Amino acid sequence: MKKETIERIRKFTSDRDWDQFHTPSNLAKSISIEAAELLECFQWSDTEYDLEHVLEELADVLVYCQELADKLGVDVDEIVNKKMTKNELKYPVDKAKGNSTKYNKL
């Protein structure tokens, strides 16, 4: 996420004095709830969905993820890149390309 966007999220929360409610547990719950709302957009069809609604729910998930990262004092780019390094080792291109099998069954 761009620095300006992250700062906007932080300002939004700060201006409303909502940080007091943003415990890691509450934020994790909120991520799960918003992810379920995102999934609901595809409940009855994989191809017919309201893109604007999907984007709103996706944004809600991303905002809560950024807020949780802030609360935990971690950098999103750093933790994503660390996880991608692990994923690249678990799913080598020569074994995983075009294959959706879990890493322990490749």
Per-residue pLDDT of the chain (106 residues; tens, 9 = 90+): 999 999 999 999 999 999 999 999 999 999 999 999 999 999 999 999 999 999 999 999 999 999 999 999 999 999 999 999 999 999 999 989 999 998 888 8
Boundaries of every domain in the chain: 1-74, 75-106
- Residue 101 zone, left/alpha/beta (φ > 0; ψ -120 to 50; rest): beta
CA–CA distances in Å: residue 61 to residues 15, 34, 105:
20, 6, 30
Please give the structure tokens belonging to residue 41.
């957009």
> Taking the model in full, what pTM does it have?
0.91
Rounded CA gap, 90 and 96, in Å?
9
In degrees and rounded to multiples of 5, residue 67 shows phi and psi of -65, -35
- Assigned CATH for 1-74: 1.10.287.1080
Choose among 29, 24, 25, 31: nearest CA to 71: 24
Those residues whose C-beta lies under 8 Å from the C-beta of residue 30, and which sit 6 or more positions away, are 64
